[in-house]
């Protein structure tokens, strides 16, 4: 199950509810230490030195417990209780170039500005350029607001305990949080809170999608239609189609512009490719459609706008609108049973909301809500770091997978195609929320998997991997 994004007060309430069951703080600390140690081993190599920075609170206890359970690495523990005198031993430890620093200085209990001495210590850690894994929250960061208490450790990974804290998801916190991961199974009782914002876990997709019937045929898995590609942007049609293929619909048909028909058709084998014309109708048995990737050529804008709006208003099958086609939509009410999906990045969302990308990023949840409300209670996938999936009411889900190497042209086209390919399948369209979350998670998980072995990958490599994460 996804876990809620909570405040520090709610975290304390959860802990108190756990202690009331007889579970002990000592046992939870031991389990946290075990999880931290396991993650440290995955981030380092045998024989590496790991520097554990231990503060006075429970974060320090967690770091100390992890150091005791670390195997195959050299754990160096540095207790830091007196910042006025701790700088010199810290500099000495950093001069030995440990492979990783584990930050256990301050946790969610910090509630006052840091002294100049502490700020100097944090600055020294950050300027060392040694990777940092922060336990629960980067030291110096407000876990509720995402602001700093004067300074904060810039972590490579933040391994937060139990559930994400609200401040860790704030854009102001991203430079300090780095990659956010959750140690959810540490001996606490199941989280008793139900909140609107939730963190997606890989385990949410166990046994999803369900195994196919052994006697199934291609007619059971739908027909996706893709309207994409124009002169100078034909690659978007190809990538969107490959994304759809990786989702395994029964059939896929691409409709593209006449002047790019040859390069699009020549790079696709198992899909049907047709020339798009203003009066064209999609196949009679279409079960989902995607419109938008690569439709940026200005000479087709007027005809494509009319086509997009008509499809948006009348299609009884799921419709995904991406890229240039987003600008063709107008605000209007739709039948409640229509499945409509928008996939904007922050800049596109800003255009739709007549605001700025900075304002969208400042409150991404509100942007999802407003976009969905404006466009007929549609589903919205607000792309970017920690992509959001939701609509005007109900749960919003924060994606946990992916990395900055997804920030390259064609990545969004691939995702849009993968979504449409999944929604073409009647069994998956019946659970839109899970299907959309799964698509976004698979997209990021594929990038994470490739990045483990190579850094120079392209979207073409991603197209070969998407849908393969487990």
* 341 and 431 inside one domain: yes
Q: Of the residues 159, 193, 227, which one is the last residue of a structural domain?
A: 193
User: Which among 173, 179, 140, 1 is positioned nearest to 59, based on CA atoms?
Assistant: 140
Residue 433 has pLDDT above 90, yes or no: yes
- Kindly state whether residue 198 falls inside one of the protein's structural domains: no
| pLDDT per residue as tens digits for the range 165-197 | 999 999 999 999 999 999 999 999 999 999 999
pLDDT interval class at 133 (50, 70, 90): very high
Residue 7 has pLDDT above 80, yes or no: yes
Residue 1 has pLDDT above 80, yes or no: no
- Kindly state whether residue 213 falls inside one of the protein's structural domains: no
Asked if residue 103 lies in contact with residue 121, where contact means CB atoms within 8 angstroms, the answer is no
Q: Angle formed by the axes of helices 116-127 and 83-95, to 10°?
A: 10
Asked if residue 280 lies in contact with residue 312, where contact means CB atoms within 8 angstroms, the answer is no
- Indicate which CATH number applies to the domain containing 38: 3.40.50.10260
Average pLDDT, the chain: 96
Place of tokens 């120079």: 456
Predicted local confidence at residue 334, as pLDDT: 86
Predicted local confidence at residue 332, as pLDDT: 85
* 108 and 248 inside one domain: no
* 284 and 178 inside one domain: no
- Kindly state whether residue 70 falls inside one of the protein's structural domains: yes
- Kindly state whether residue 199 falls inside one of the protein's structural domains: no
| pLDDT per residue as tens digits for the range 341-378 | 999 999 999 999 999 999 999 999 999 999 999 999 99
| pLDDT per residue as tens digits for the range 228-276 | 999 999 999 999 999 999 999 999 999 999 999 999 999 999 999 999 9
Predicted local confidence at residue 407, as pLDDT: 96
Per the structure, the complete domain to which residue 305 belongs is given by: 218-465
* 154 and 231 inside one domain: no
Q: Of the residues 176, 193, 210, which one is the last residue of a structural domain?
A: 193
Q: Determine the average pLDDT of the residues in 111-122.
A: 96
Predicted local confidence at residue 129, as pLDDT: 96
Asked if residue 83 lies in contact with residue 121, where contact means CB atoms within 8 angstroms, the answer is yes
For the chain, helix, strand, coil in percent to 5 are: 45, 15, 40
* 90 and 124 inside one domain: yes
* 272 and 407 inside one domain: yes
Count of alpha carbons within 13 angstroms of residue 16, beta-carbon side:
6
Predicted local confidence at residue 206, as pLDDT: 92
Asked if residue 241 lies in contact with residue 460, where contact means CB atoms within 8 angstroms, the answer is no
Give the three-class secondary structure for 458. Answer: coil
Rounded CA-CA distance 172/272 in Å is 46
Residues with Cβ within 8 Å of residue 72, at least 6 apart in sequence: 41, 46, 47
Number of domains in the chain: 2
* 116 and 226 inside one domain: no
* 135 and 257 inside one domain: no
* 181 and 231 inside one domain: no
* 260 and 180 inside one domain: no
Place of tokens 């809620």: 4
Pairing of strands 74-79, 340-342: unpaired
Residue 324 has pLDDT above 90, yes or no: yes
Length of the chain: 470
User: Which among 291, 315, 233 is positioned nearest to 420, based on CA atoms?
Assistant: 291
In the chain, what percentage of residues exceed pLDDT 70?
Answer: 100
- Kindly state whether residue 321 falls inside one of the protein's structural domains: yes
- Kindly state whether residue 348 falls inside one of the protein's structural domains: yes
pLDDT interval class at 333 (50, 70, 90): confident
- Kindly state whether residue 84 falls inside one of the protein's structural domains: yes
pLDDT interval class at 470 (50, 70, 90): confident
Rounded CA-CA distance 332/465 in Å is 37
CA–CA–CA angle 69, 83, 78 (5° rounding): 20
* 140 and 245 inside one domain: no
Q: Determine the average pLDDT of the residues in 416-437.
A: 98
- Model confidence, pTM: 0.95
Q: Is 444 exposed, middle or buried (0-12, 13-18, 19+ CB in 10 A)?
A: buried
Element at 176 (helix H, strand E): helix 174-177
- Indicate which CATH number applies to the domain containing 359: 3.40.1190.20
Predicted local confidence at residue 137, as pLDDT: 98
Strands (E), 314-406: 319-321, 340-342, 379-382, 388-390, 396-398
Q: Is 99 exposed, middle or buried (0-12, 13-18, 19+ CB in 10 A)?
A: middle
* 225 and 285 inside one domain: yes
- Kindly state whether residue 206 falls inside one of the protein's structural domains: no
429 φψ region: left (φ > 0), alpha (ψ -120 to 50), beta (else)? alpha
| pLDDT per residue as tens digits for the range 38-82 | 999 999 999 999 999 999 999 999 999 999 999 999 999 999 999
Predicted local confidence at residue 2, as pLDDT: 79
């Amino acid at each position: 199950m996804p876990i809620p994004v909570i405040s520090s007060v709610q975290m304390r309430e959860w802990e108190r509810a756990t202690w009331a069951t007889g579970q002990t703080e000592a046992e939870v600390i031991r389990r946290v230490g075990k999880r931290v140690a396991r993650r440290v081993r995955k981030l380092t190599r045998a024989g590496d030195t790991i520097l554990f920075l231990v503060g006075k609170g429970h974060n320090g206890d967690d770091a100390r417990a992890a150091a005791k359970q670390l195997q195959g690495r050299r754990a160096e523990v540095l207790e830091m209780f007196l910042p006025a005198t701790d700088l010199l031993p810290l500099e000495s430890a950093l001069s030995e170039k440990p492979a990783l620093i584990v930050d256990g200085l301050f946790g969610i209990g910090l509630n006052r500005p840091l002294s100049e001495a502490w700020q100097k210590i944090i600055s020294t850690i950050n300027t060392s350029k040694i990777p940092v894994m922060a336990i629960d929250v980067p030291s110096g960061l407000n876990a509720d607001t995402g602001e700093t208490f004067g300074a904060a450790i810039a972590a490579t990974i933040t391994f937060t305990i139990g559930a994400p804290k609200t401040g860790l998801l704030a854009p102001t916190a991203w430079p300090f949080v780095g990659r956010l991961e959750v140690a959810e199974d540490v001996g606490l009782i199941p989280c008793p809170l139900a909140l609107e914002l939730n963190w997606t876990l890989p385990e949410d997709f166990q046994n999803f999608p369900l195994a196919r019937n052994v006697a199934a045929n291609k007619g059971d898995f739908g027909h996706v239609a893709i309207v994409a590609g124009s002169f100078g942007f034909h690659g978007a049609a190809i990538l969107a189609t490959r994304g759809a293929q990786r989702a395994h619909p029964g059939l896929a048909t691409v409709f593209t512009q006449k002047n790019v028909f040859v390069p699009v058709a020549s790079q696709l084998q198992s899909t049907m490719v047709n020339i798009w014309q203003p009066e064209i109708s999609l196949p009679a048995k279409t079960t989902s459609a995607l419109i938008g990737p690569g439709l940026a050529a200005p000479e087709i804008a007027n005809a494509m706008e009319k086509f997009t709006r008509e499809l948006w208003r009348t299609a009884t099958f799921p419709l995904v609108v991406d890229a240039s086609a987003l600008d063709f939509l107008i605000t209007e009410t739709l039948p409640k049973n229509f499945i409509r999906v928008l996939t904007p990045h922050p800049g596109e969302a800003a255009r739709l909301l007549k605001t700025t990308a900075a304002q969208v990023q400042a409150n991404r949840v509100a942007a999802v809500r407003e976009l969905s409300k404006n466009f007929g209670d549609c589903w919205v996938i607000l792309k970017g770091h920690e992509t959001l999936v939701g609509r005007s009411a109900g749960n919003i889900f924060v994606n946990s997978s992916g990395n900055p190497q997804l920030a390259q042209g064609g990545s969004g086209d691939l995702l849009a195609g993968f979504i449409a390919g999944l929604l073409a399948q009647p069994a998956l369209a019946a659970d839109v929320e899970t299907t959309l979350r799964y698509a976004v998670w698979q997209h990021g998980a594929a990038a994470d998997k490739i990045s483990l072995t190579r850094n120079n990958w392209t979207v073409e490599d991603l197209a070969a991997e998407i849908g393969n994460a487990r």
